[in-house]
């Protein structure tokens, strides 16, 4: 294991429980916008998740912009469910509800607390600043990390090298050789690390297979394995 100084930590799916926050936000939004049209069901939530994932994948491939994504996912949702509404207004309310989240994955706070005793920690996250910053603030992580870098503020998203150029320019004394990026997404985090020229640790709790042609420096399926690697 190299002697790292800077740990670049993804948020959603790595530290924050996005599924829990998203579930709450979508249910609250649905109640306001659609409950008079059709009772809520898991099928409707699954449909939204599919639409949302589809557009995030397009964003990561550079096929759309973030402003297009946040509206288009609800355009697709309305079309596929037959529900009616104004996509822009639905997204605005969804962002308000999502910003009320901040749930952490079990053990995440303790891991970050312990890592902060040895490393400089920075959050590197895609998303909307109006939702990510309140969620991170509510999570309790703020006291252990130096800074949050949200893609909306950077004007580019992971895995785009421009996002990481923005981040690196704002970390005092930063060097790529002393940095390790930890994240759960092969497409945004691990490919982002490759594009940025830094080492990577793939947090892979589901035991998935790494996409062909992609390389990572380390892998871990549990937080305890990250501890063993970084806090021997």
Instruction: List the pLDDT tens digit at each of the 232 positions of the chain.
Output: 889 999 999 999 999 999 999 999 999 999 999 999 999 999 999 999 999 999 999 988 889 998 999 999 999 999 999 999 999 999 999 999 999 999 999 999 999 999 999 999 999 999 888 899 999 999 999 999 999 999 999 999 999 999 999 999 999 999 999 999 999 999 999 999 999 999 999 999 999 999 988 999 999 999 999 999 999 8
Question: Are both 39 and 83 inside the same structural domain?
Answer: yes
Domain membership of residue 171 as a residue range: 6-17+103-230
Distance in Å from the first CA to the final CA of the chain? 10
For 135-163, what is the HEC assignment?
HHHHHCCCCCCCEEEEHHHHCCCCCCHHH
Question: Are both 170 and 159 inside the same structural domain?
Answer: yes
Distances (CA, A) of 205 to 72, 105, 179: 30, 11, 22
CA distance linking residue 111 with residue 219, whole number of Å = 16
pLDDT of residue 128: 87
pLDDT of residue 171: 98
Cα atoms in the 13 Å half-sphere on the side-chain side of 188: 25
Catalytically active residues, by annotation: 10
Question: Are both 128 and 154 inside the same structural domain?
Answer: yes
The count of structural domains within the chain is: 2
Question: Are both 138 and 225 inside the same structural domain?
Answer: yes
Question: Are both 39 and 69 inside the same structural domain?
Answer: yes
- In order, the DSSP letters of the chain are -----EEEE--BTTTB-HHHHHHHHHHHHHHHHTTTTS---HHHHHHHHHHHHHHHHHHHTTSS-HHHHHHHHHHHHHHHH-----HHHHHHHHHHHHTT--PBPTTHHHHHHHHTTTSEEEEEE-S-HHHHHHHHHHHT-TTT-SEEEEHHHHTS-TT-HHHHHHHHTTSTT--GGGEEEEES-IIIIIHHHHHHT-EEEEE-TT-PPPPTT---SEEESSHHHHHHHH--
pLDDT of residue 177: 97
pLDDT of residue 60: 85
34: CATH: 1.10.150.240
Partners of 148 in the β-ladder:
123
């Amino acid at each position: 294991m190299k002697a790292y100084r800077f740990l670049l930590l993804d948020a959603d799916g790595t530290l924050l429980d996005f599924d829990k926050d998203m579930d709450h936000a979508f249910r609250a939004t649905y109640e306001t916008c659609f409950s008079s049209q059709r009772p809520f069901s898991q099928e409707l939530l699954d449909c939204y998740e599919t639409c949302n994932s589809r557009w995030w994948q397009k964003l990561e491939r550079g096929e759309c912009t973030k402003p297009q994504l946040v509206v288009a996912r609800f355009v697709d949702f309305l079309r596929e469910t037959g529900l009616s509404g104004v996509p822009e207004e639905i997204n605005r309310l969804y962002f308000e509800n999502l910003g009320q989240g901040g749930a952490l994955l079990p053990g995440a706070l303790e891991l970050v607390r312990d890592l902060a005793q040895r490393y400089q920690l920075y959050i590197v996250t895609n998303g909307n600043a109006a939702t990510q910053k309140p969620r991170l603030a509510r999570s309790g992580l703020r006291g252990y990390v130096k800074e949050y870098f949200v893609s909306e503020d950077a004007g580019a998203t992971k895995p785009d090298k421009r996002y990481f150029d923005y981040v690196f320019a704002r970390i005092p004394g930063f060097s790529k050789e002393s940095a390790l990026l930890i994240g759960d997404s092969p497409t945004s985090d691990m490919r982002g690390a490759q594009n940025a020229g830094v080492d990577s640790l793939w947090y892979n709790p589901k035991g998935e297979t790494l996409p062909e042609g992609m390389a990572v420096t380390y892998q871990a399926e549990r937080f305890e394995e990250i501890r063993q690697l970084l806090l021997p």
